[in-house]
Amino acid sequence: MHKYGDVIVPIGPQHPALKEPESFLITLRGEKITASSVRLGYNHRGIEKACEERTYTQGVYLIERVCGICSHSHSTAFVQAVEEIAGVEIPARAKYIRTLIAELERIHSHLLWLGVAGHEIGFDTLLMYTWRDREVVMDLLAKLTGNRVNYGINTIGGVRRDVSVKQKEEVLKAIDTLEKQTKYYIDLATKETTLLKRLQGVGVLSHEDAISLGAVGPTGRASGIARDTRKDDPYAAYGELDFKVISVDNCDVYGRTLVRLGELIESFSLVRQVIAKIPDGPITVRVPRKIPAGEVLSRYEAPRGEDVHYVRSNGTEKPDRVKVRAPTLANVQSVSKMLEDRYLADMPIVIAAIDPCFSCTDRLIALRDTQTKKSNTVIWETIRLKGIEWYKQQGVDFTALNKKLSKKLHL
C-alpha cells in the first residue's frame, strides 16, 4: 500500500506549458499521474449566438475568428454549408483557390506544431528553426490573401482574391524551399536520439481507444485510423487531386510527429498540383442575401482533424442556428487516456501532441428540460440511438450493414 495519499495538482489557466487558458486537474501518486480531468470554458465568447444576430456575409468574418490558426478551415466549412443550402455551385477556379489556401494553412499549422512540440520537450532550437521556416509560408499567405492570419479570402459564392501568374511562380519557389527544410526535419525526427527518446512510447493511445474516444485527424491517424475527410467526402477541389492519407501504427507522440511530417510532404505535392491544374474563369457567383430554409452539416479536414459545421436557415438573411464542432473537442477526451500512468514531466508534450486549440473548442451546450427547467446531461449512447431513429424515419436503415461490419471487425 502507498504511504501517502494522492495529490491533486491544478494546472492552468495560466501556465508556462499551456499557451491558452485551459485548466487541467492532475491527480498524482508520487510522480505518476493516476487521473486527470480537463476544465474548458475560459475561452468561451459566444460566437454561435453572435452568428444568429449577424447576416451570412458578416458571419463569415466572425466564424473565421473562431480560431486564429485554422481560420480558413472554419470559414470554408461555414460558407460550404451556406452555399449548399442556397443551392449554389461555385466556379472551379474558386474551388482551387480555396484548396490552395487550405493546404498552405495546413503547412503553416504543422510547422507551428513541430516547433511547439520541440519547445515542450525542451528542444528550443527546433522551435526557432521551424518558426523561421514557417515565416516563408506566412509571407506567402500574406501576399496571396492580404493578411497573415484570418485571411478573409472566403465569401459566400466563391473567393475574394484571384491568384496572378507571378504569384503562382512565387508559391512554387517557396514550396521548393519548404520541402527541402521539411526533408531535413524528417531526417532529424527519425535519427536524432534526443527526439526519439522523448517521443517514443509517450502518450500511448491504442487503436481501440482511439476509435471509442472518437479521435480525429493526426491523433487518430497516428493510431491507425486512416480517415481523412478530404478523401472520404471530397470538398473543394480535393476530388480531382491525387494524394495519400498518411497513417501509422505507432500510437504514440512519435507517430503523431511522423503523420504530421508526412502530411507536410503531401501538402507540398497538393499545392503543386493545384498550381498546375487551376482552371481559368470567374472567382465568384452571385448569391442572394436571403438564404432559403434548410439545414446542412458541412465537413472539412482542418489541420487538426475533422471540423464540422451545422447551419440551419429559416429563409431570412440571418442563420437560425450555427453549430461548430472543432477537432480538438473530439480529441481532448483522449488526453486523459494518454496521461494515465505517465510521469508528470510528460504532461506538456502529451497535451501538445493533439495540437489542442481551445479557442476552437469552447462551444457550450446546455440542455434544459422544458417542463422541469432543469439542465440534464445526455450520454453518448442516447445521442447515437436518437441518430439511428432519425435516419430510420428518413428511410435509411443501417441495421443489416452494422451487423455485417461488426462480424468483419470481430466486435
Residues 90 and 277: their CA atoms lie apart, in Å, by: 17
160 lines the binding site for other proteins (CB under 8 A): no
Using CB under 8 A, which of the segments 58-66, 213-221, 252-260, 293-301 binds other proteins? 58-66
Residues 248 and 254: their CA atoms lie apart, in Å, by: 10
Q: Out of 150, 200, 333, 336, which residue is the one contacting other proteins (CB under 8 A)? A: 150
Q: What is the DSSP string of 135-164?
A: HHHHHHHHHHHSSSSS---EETTEES----
Q: What separation in angstroms does the CA of 47 have from each of 14, 58, 340?
A: 23, 12, 34
Identity of the residue, 42 or 243, whose beta carbon is nearer to other proteins in the bound complex: 42
C-alpha cell read off for 386: 436518437
Q: What is the DSSP string of 174-187?
A: HHHHHHHHHHHHHH
Using CB under 8 A, which of the segments 143-151, 208-216, 273-281, 382-390 binds other proteins? 143-151
55 lines the binding site for other proteins (CB under 8 A): no
Q: What are phi and psi of 320, to 5 degrees?
A: -85, -40
126 lines the binding site for other proteins (CB under 8 A): no
Q: Out of 77, 138, 215, 278, which residue is the one contacting other proteins (CB under 8 A)? A: 138
68 lines the binding site for other proteins (CB under 8 A): yes
Q: List the one residue out of 37, 39, 105, 119 whose CA is nearest residue 67.
A: 105
Q: Which of residues 173-212 bind other proteins (CB under 8 A)?
A: none
66 lines the binding site for other proteins (CB under 8 A): yes
Q: Out of 45, 197, 244, 289, which residue is the one contacting other proteins (CB under 8 A)? A: 45
101 lines the binding site for other proteins (CB under 8 A): no
71 lines the binding site for other proteins (CB under 8 A): yes
Q: List the one residue out of 93, 72, 303, 269 whose CA is nearest residue 175.
A: 269
Q: How many residues bind other proteins (CB under 8 A)?
A: 38
Q: Which residues bind other proteins (CB under 8 A)?
A: 13-14, 16, 19-21, 41-47, 49-50, 61-62, 65-69, 71, 112, 115, 127-128, 131-132, 134-135, 138, 147-150, 357, 359
